[in-house]
Structure 1
Amino acid sequence: MVQTTFKNNPVTLVGNEVKVGDQAPDFQVLANDLSQVTLKDSEGKIRLISVVPSIDTGVCDAQTRKFNEAAAELGDNVIIYTVSMDLPFAQKRWCGAAGIDQVVTVSDHRDASFGEAYGVLIQSLRLLTRSVFVIDAEGKVAYVEYVPEATNHPNYDGAIEAVKALTK
């Protein structure tokens, strides 16, 4: 069971912990146009899934920008998702204002499918805890980071290196 805190207070996460080597669980989230997005939609590509509590906060903003910048060096066979509980309309507005064009923002607000499947749903706050997952083209989990304190930054370099290792 993953132990995490939010603003230094312990929180309970709902769902199962995902580990390196696991087959990545499928999920159903919403794109900015309200269409459904699943893991299978990006089958055959390497996926970097960046999970943030809310796109409109400082660390979440920086995390999304960092992975957007990294996208250029990762190649066309990599898709980067940012998942949050923010409404799709808010994600679309934020991406437009921030100039984010390489990361695909998706919303888990409707039924917390991603949060429960990946064990990142903070039950008491109905937010997702900060985490990063890298999934290979065959759907196997290659990298996992559950950030111990949800308001801290993830290991950007570790996630990016995990993607690069899969593209070789």
Structure 2
Amino acid sequence: MAVVTLGGSPINTNGSLPKVGSKAPEFQLVKQDLAIASLADFAGSKLVLNIFPSIDTSTCATSVRTFNAKASALENTKVLCISRDLPFAQKRFCGAEGLDNVINLSDFNTGNFGKTYGLEITEGAFSGLHARAVVVIDENGTVKHTELVAEIANEPNYESALAAL
């Protein structure tokens, strides 16, 4: 279990992020067309997992915009934006914003991604959603960098995540 804050108040997650140097846990998430995407679908690519509670909050939206802008310059790198939002909400947001350098994936139906990656918030107003985090995975599926953002309202450290690539 990890502790983060929401507006300064401590809240718990169900576990801890995968360890740097370990193999990234497999996942199955829902794409915008409702098909299933798995970690194996991205084999051979470097991945930035931008994980957040909801696309409809300002900090989450900013992280998607920022990674979208920075991803366009990176070779063999995909940014996966992961939340429990419905795929339709993710698609609406990126369409309205003209964001096309990120891939939105939803954990709405089971929450298994959040549970497996230790990011499920277990109490409070955001219970069941994901804590804000970034996980960087290399082209061989090894975790190269993790960040559990201490205060959910804060943005992740973009430079540290991108430097790990």
| Residue in structure 2 matched with residue 137 of structure 1 by the alignment | 139
**Which one of the candidate residues 128, 136, 152 is aligned to 2:154?**
152
* CA contact 2:2–2:14 (8 Å) conserved in 1: no
| Residue in structure 2 matched with residue 5 of structure 1 by the alignment | 5
The residue identity in structure 2 corresponding to 1:8 is G
Separation (CA, whole Å) in 2 of partners of 1:13 and 1:27? 18
1:10 Cα deviation (Å)?
A: 1.6
1:86 Cα deviation (Å)?
A: 0.5
Runs of 4+ off more than 2 Å: none
Separation (CA, whole Å) in 1 of partners of 2:36 and 2:9? 33
The residue identity in structure 2 corresponding to 1:151 is A
| Residue in structure 1 matched with residue 35 of structure 2 by the alignment | 35
Separation (CA, whole Å) in 2 of partners of 1:102 and 1:90? 17
Structure 2: where are the runs of 5+ without partners? none
Separation (CA, whole Å) in 2 of partners of 1:123 and 1:21? 27
Q: Is the deviation greater in 120-129 or in 6-15?
A: 6-15
| Residue in structure 2 matched with residue 166 of structure 1 by the alignment | none
| Residue in structure 2 matched with residue 115 of structure 1 by the alignment | 114
Equivalent residues in 2 for 1:27-106, closer than 5 Å = 27-75=27-75, 77-106=76-105
The residue identity in structure 2 corresponding to 1:91 is Q
The CA RMSD over aligned residues, in Å, is 1.1
* CA contact 1:15–1:115 (8 Å) conserved in 2: no
TM-score (normalizing by structure 1): 0.93
* CA contact 1:51–1:130 (8 Å) conserved in 2: yes
1:17 Cα deviation (Å)?
A: 2.9
* CA contact 1:133–1:143 (8 Å) conserved in 2: yes
The residue identity in structure 1 corresponding to 2:40 is K
The residue identity in structure 2 corresponding to 1:159 is A
TM-score (normalizing by structure 2): 0.94
Give secondary structure in 2 for the equivalent of 1:120.
Answer: coil
The residue identity in structure 1 corresponding to 2:154 is N
Structure 1: where are the runs of 5+ without partners? 164-168
The residue identity in structure 2 corresponding to 1:12 is N
Give secondary structure in 1 for the equivalent of 2:47.
Answer: strand
Give secondary structure in 1 for the equivalent of 2:72.
Answer: helix
